[in-house]
Structure 1
Amino acid sequence: MPSLTWRNVIVAGMGVFTDGYNLYSISLTSFFIPSSFKFSSGELGLLVAGSYFGAAFAALIFGALADRLGRKGIYGFDVAIMSLGAVLQAFSQSYLELLLSRLILGIGIGADYVLSPVIVAENSSGKNRGKMMVITFAVMWGLGAVLAAFVEQLTLLANLPPSLIWRIVLGVGAIPAISVFFLRRRIYETVMFVSRVKPEHIDSEKIERELGKPLVKAKDTSSFMSRLRSSAIFIVAASLLWLLYDMYSSTFAIYGPITIASNLGMTPIEFTYVAQFFAGIPGQILCILLIDKIGRRPLIVLGYAGVAAWLLAYSLLLADPRIFGLSSTHLNTSSLVGEAAVLGFSFYMLNYFFSAIGPASIIGSAMVTPELVPTKVRATSQSISVAVDRLSAALNITAFPLLLAHFGLAAMVGLYSGIALLSSLITLFVIPESRGRELEELSKEGQAQK
């Protein structure tokens, strides 16, 4: 299975790379879009969240199709839709056109968030599934964000006008997406779908030749609804965990290069490079090394504990620098200065590092649902988690500029610290450990059928 697994990691990872690029690039270009269109802060929030609304809608449709038709049948169309949305952004002539193109882009992203985690999980063995999923999602998403910053940096070095910069940066997002369309259309159906749902699938013999051994086939004869009901607790828990995670992570991903970077006296591009190369990627590497050795739950709980602690420290620093022995002059109306800026930067980077160790790399990689529910309902279950998460994240992102103006950054960061603590408790008491266990065992598919 190693060659089959790594091929799926590469093909799926390029889609996630595109997701990271397109979701992050809107943040970097938000400074330049007003050079072409005028809109309020509320309309900016809606524009940024447009792809999330599209993703929530598409997830439910593609999840149902994937469980009925198979994963392979619709794989590839997600990146085609992403490419279309990215290109349409670049040629938008009004705010409304740009918003509609963001919705189309989101439809492709929502489909990919359902299909890619399921495909990688179903083609990986228990001993390395965690590592494969972290590489596919957390690592590739972060690299996509870095590319978005690099493309914008090139346009700035070329002294291009603002009205052209945002169009180029957003439009380039079509390139990585369309590059994997044909590769996705040529992959085999997943091992688990053929084994448990459709043993007579045409790809069965191809998979057996790839593996060099016969597939163990045991068709799941339980009804779709009975499997869905038995998985309800995990679907709810996974949806809640992803919802809570994205309440702060998506906000920081979208508004971090704007709000946090400005607060710390950095440019958006500087902020992106430092966050990814000095905190995000080191944390992801640590997660890759440990996830299949010590398990998912310890890393999530440890990561969230660090996120909660360092965001609380950052919140307190913003509220009153004197708590840390600094004078109030280190905080002006919009940013930390001097020693406070250095301290705030340290707090935020430590939060980012601890998030990459566990929450961002595991929950953010959509790992919970695909590992815990049966194959027959895996895509549908994942689609529910994606839809709940994307819709809540869209509403949160839309509201963030207004909440920030009303309550201030200190209160918002403090709220996200509390969310991290709550998420840690949910993981500890609800989510079972899946380290080293095959999907059949985790989802109880191996038990006798009634």
Structure 2
Amino acid sequence: MNDSSQTGVLQALDETGLQKFHWRTVITAGMGFFTDAYDLFIIGTVTAILTPLWHLSTGQLAILNSTSLAAAAFGALVFGRLMDRLGRKAMYGIEVMMLAGGALLSALAPSFGWLVVFRILVGLGVGGDYPTSSVIMSEYANRTHRGFLVTLVFSMQGLGLLAGPAVAAILLASGMSHDLAWRLMLGLGAIPAASVIYLRRRMAETPRYLVTVQGKTDEAAEVVKSLTGKAVVAEANAPTKVQGGLWTRKNLIRLLGTAGSWFLVDVAFYGNGVSSQLILKALLPQAHLIEKVLVSALIFLVAAVPGYYVAAYFMDKIGRKWIQSVGFLVMAITYGLIFGVPRIIQMPVLFLIVYAVSYFFIEFGPNTTTFLVPSEVFPTHLRGTAHGISAAAGKIGAFLGAFVLPFVLKSAGLGSTMGLLAAVALLGAALTLATLPEMKQKSLEEVQTDPLPVAERRLS
């Protein structure tokens, strides 16, 4: 392949302004995260309903949640690897088919065992959506707005987390039987996922994959022309020889940074889970399920949702590395306050402020950047695999946060638990600064020529 033709094709994609295809891709990719988040919230309400209906034990509830997390980790690994081997187009849309099918089947589950099986299918779809949607949006984005666009995709999660309690509240307030309500809650999750199956399956292969992995420069030029309206002359169409594997020193250190920080933020995120339960207990000690649902949604709306959109606005202005490291640091400070000044939990207003600050900086911080950064800091032929590994590490962190830390809380108390989580957040900040390059305003093709991160310079 002629290097100048490759540069010309991808440069045209990098230098174009925001266009309709960018917004179409945001909606197409983001609807999966809307569904993921809706499902994430609604299953908590569903299990609260099913526990008395099906007489579920604590162990059964743990199985229901843990199998979904494990399936999501596996789905991220499999889809990430296959999209590098087979192409982005070949895999895109399969994950939302699994989400839609799993939601419908879950709504029809006749027993606990079948519900677990169908939740595994949903988990596979959720996991697969992480690498596919992030990488595709990143590879379609232009250079100057890539962080903004990828973060907008992930921010659809915030809307899904608001839709979940809204749907639950409406169904519970309608007076319908709980047996019908939980089935509708799960079944409605199929609608947003199914709405983008056609769009995802019709999406063209990304020009970056066509050029740098398949060597199809002519085809890439046609795709870029159809998207941007700019004519690109491709001088050759020979296969590209892909250089280097994931297990090089540079890629391993970056993988440590992306997977490690995602793992740590999902562990630390449990701190806000503990806090939310304390707030609900203090504010509404005798509340019914529907009241708790609405209060949870209000807290999320005020404290977390703005963080997604502030992050999107500033991502290409101040950079991913700064946002991620500062987010981790503020999380450490707020958790440390609860550890060092335990009387805060007896002052609801002050506690609510501390909680809101931590929640805002999780979203305007590592919860959004850990989704973006793995789609940028690896070469095209490794991007899906590396993102899948990073997302799977996050799911393992979520598992530990949800199922191991409650035992720590019970044995060591709230103060010690929050102190531990403050240390986890500090480790996340240090790992970010030591291992990750800044990709703000850079082409994805610059990934191999970036200055070495601190950790790698010391190992060289």
TM-score (normalizing by structure 1): 0.87
Counterpart-to-counterpart distance in 2, 1:439 and 1:208? 19
Structure 2 residue 458 is the aligned partner of structure 1 residue 439: no
SS in 2 for 1:225: coil
- 1:234-293 deviations in Å (ceiling 9; x for gaps): 11211100000111326746x776565335537432343333321222222322222111
Structure 1 residues 155, 107: closer, same or farther in 2, change over 3 A? Answer: same
Counterpart-to-counterpart distance in 1, 2:218 and 2:282? 57
Alignment length (residue pairs) = 424
Deviation at 1:158, TM superposition (A): 0.6
The one-letter amino acid paired with 1:282 is P
Q: 1:370 maps to which residue?
A: 375
Q: 2:358 maps to which residue?
A: 351
- 1:334-413 paired onto structure 2 within 5 Å: 340-363=347-370, 366-413=371-418
Structure 1 residues 263, 126: closer, same or farther in 2, change over 3 A? Answer: farther
Q: 1:96 maps to which residue?
A: 113
SS in 2 for 1:164: helix
Counterpart-to-counterpart distance in 1, 2:300 and 2:448? 34
Counterpart-to-counterpart distance in 2, 1:413 and 1:103? 31
The one-letter amino acid paired with 1:367 is L
The worse-fitting range, judged by mean Cα deviation, of 433-442 and 21-30 is 21-30
Deviation at 1:220, TM superposition (A): 4.3
Q: 1:312 maps to which residue?
A: 336
Q: 1:421 maps to which residue?
A: 426
Counterpart-to-counterpart distance in 1, 2:130 and 2:111? 29
The worse-fitting range, judged by mean Cα deviation, of 214-223 and 347-356 is 214-223
Q: 1:241 maps to which residue?
A: 261
Q: 2:310 maps to which residue?
A: 286
SS in 1 for 2:245: helix
Deviation at 1:392, TM superposition (A): 3.6
The one-letter amino acid paired with 1:285 is Y
- Equivalent pair of 2:69/2:123 in contact (CA under 8 Å): yes
Q: 1:221 maps to which residue?
A: 241
- 1:178-204 deviations in Å (ceiling 9; x for gaps): 111011001111121112112328953
- Equivalent pair of 2:269/2:401 in contact (CA under 8 Å): no
SS in 2 for 1:193: helix
Deviation at 1:348, TM superposition (A): 0.8
SS in 1 for 2:423: helix
The one-letter amino acid paired with 1:343 is L
- 1:131-170 paired onto structure 2 within 5 Å: 131-137=148-154, 139-170=155-186
- 1:381-419 deviations in Å (ceiling 9; x for gaps): 111112222234224423344444333333333322221
Structure 1 residues 305, 346: closer, same or farther in 2, change over 3 A? Answer: same
- 1:17-96 paired onto structure 2 within 5 Å: 17-96=34-113
Deviation at 1:378, TM superposition (A): 0.7
Counterpart-to-counterpart distance in 1, 2:158 and 2:134? 16
Structure 1 residues 357, 193: closer, same or farther in 2, change over 3 A? Answer: same
Q: Which runs of 5+ in 2 are unaligned?
A: 1-15, 451-460
SS in 2 for 1:210: helix
- 1:63-85 deviations in Å (ceiling 9; x for gaps): 22111111011111100101111
Structure 1 residues 232, 243: closer, same or farther in 2, change over 3 A? Answer: same
- 1:248-287 paired onto structure 2 within 5 Å: 248-249=268-269, 252=272, 258=277, 261-265=280-284, 267-287=291-311
The one-letter amino acid paired with 1:262 is K
The one-letter amino acid paired with 2:366 is P
SS in 1 for 2:314: helix
Deviation at 1:40, TM superposition (A): 3.0
Q: 2:5 maps to which residue?
A: none
Counterpart-to-counterpart distance in 2, 1:145 and 1:29? 15
SS in 2 for 1:373: coil
Counterpart-to-counterpart distance in 2, 1:48 and 1:252? 18
Deviation at 1:90, TM superposition (A): 1.5
Structure 1 residues 373, 387: closer, same or farther in 2, change over 3 A? Answer: same
- 1:101-159 deviations in Å (ceiling 9; x for gaps): 2111010111111100000111112211111111100x200110100010001012112
Deviation at 1:223, TM superposition (A): 4.1
Q: 2:326 maps to which residue?
A: 302
- Cα RMSD, aligned residues only: 2.5
Structure 1 residues 33, 256: closer, same or farther in 2, change over 3 A? Answer: farther
Structure 1 residues 90, 407: closer, same or farther in 2, change over 3 A? Answer: farther
The one-letter amino acid paired with 1:187 is M
SS in 1 for 2:269: helix
Counterpart-to-counterpart distance in 2, 1:113 and 1:179? 18
- Equivalent pair of 1:257/1:269 in contact (CA under 8 Å): no
- Equivalent pair of 1:146/1:272 in contact (CA under 8 Å): no
Counterpart-to-counterpart distance in 2, 1:344 and 1:142? 23
Q: 1:333 maps to which residue?
A: none
Q: Which runs of 5+ in 1 are unaligned?
A: 325-335, 446-450
Q: 1:331 maps to which residue?
A: none
Structure 1 residues 95, 121: closer, same or farther in 2, change over 3 A? Answer: same
Deviation at 1:342, TM superposition (A): 2.1
Counterpart-to-counterpart distance in 2, 1:162 and 1:35? 10
TM-score (normalizing by structure 2): 0.85
Counterpart-to-counterpart distance in 1, 2:246 and 2:306? 42
Deviation at 1:344, TM superposition (A): 1.7
- Equivalent pair of 1:24/1:145 in contact (CA under 8 Å): yes
SS in 2 for 1:372: coil
Counterpart-to-counterpart distance in 2, 1:442 and 1:149? 41
- Equivalent pair of 1:292/1:435 in contact (CA under 8 Å): yes
Taking every aligned residue pair, what percent have the same amino acid on both sides? 32
- Equivalent pair of 1:35/1:162 in contact (CA under 8 Å): no
SS in 1 for 2:440: coil
SS in 1 for 2:110: coil
